Amino acid sequence: MTPKKKSNTGFIAVIGVVLLAGGAALWGTMQNKPKPIELPAGTALPQAEGYLRGNPNAPVSIVEFADFECPGCGQFATLQGPDIKTRLVDAGLANFRFYDFPLTQIHGNTLFAHLAAACANDQGKFWEMHDQLFASQPEWSTQSTTNPRKVIEPLAQAIGLDMAAYNGCMDSQKHLPRIQANAAEGQQRGVNSTPTIIVGNKVYAGGLTFDQLKKVVDSLAAAAPAAAPAVAPTPDSTKK
């Protein structure tokens, strides 16, 4: 779990610089490319949208800002994630939206993982890659390798991605703007540590256990306006 800082001013400056230039330079080093791709100054970012799991019209929305290399995020995903999926999302009680929030100044390989997840999303398999990345975090993290692409590529194969399309996506770094937009959304919401969970108007830095999260979801669902009752069919409407 990444500790909260007293001020996020320095963090915002660092993440902006690293994502715009340093991240591309780091990528170039890992790939031995003489001309790493960088976003031109003033590039407009897309609207932040994160990655949604579940019914967009569910009564409660759970938002997570996370870093794929953050140990606390890995614990939250592997320990709480299965229950969140089956007992909240699949049950229709809540939806879950993941936003990229890579802390590149302390996690050297995280940007690569975020790009890999975004490229998997192109083929409809963001959540499969999300789960694989967190489950194998110790193998591809900065402490273990300087070549995360070599470690992560088999994960893409394991979830059945078209590898030509995946590798082309990774080489182009085309989802850097999307990742930046998600990170900027977190900055605007005052996020400065990961994982940060937001449910309703309450922010939980450091995450929650499933039982804690379930209580929050149940409380918000109970306070939500009741759904409009279904309109009973008229006698004529039942005629064929």
Q: Is residue 113 part of a domain?
A: yes
Q: 43 lies in a domain?
A: no
Four-point Cα dihedral 102, 107, 110, 111, nearest 10: 70
Rounded mean pLDDT for each run of 10 residues along the chain, 240 residues in total: 45 44 40 39 81 96 97 97 97 97 92 97 98 98 94 98 98 93 92 94 93 96 63 48
CATH number reported for the structural domain that contains residue 135 in this entry: 3.40.30.10
Number of domains making up the chain: 1
Q: Give the pLDDT confidence score for residue 105 in this predicted structure.
A: 87
Q: pLDDT tens for residues 176-220?
A: 999 999 999 999 999 989 999 999 989 999 999 999 999 999 999
> Residue 6, class by beta-carbon neighbours within 10 Å (0-12 exposed, 13-18 middle, 19+ buried)?
exposed
Global model pTM greater than 0.75: yes
Instruction: Please give the residue range of the domain that contains residue 63.
Output: 51-221
Look at residue 24 and tell me if it is in a domain. Answer: no
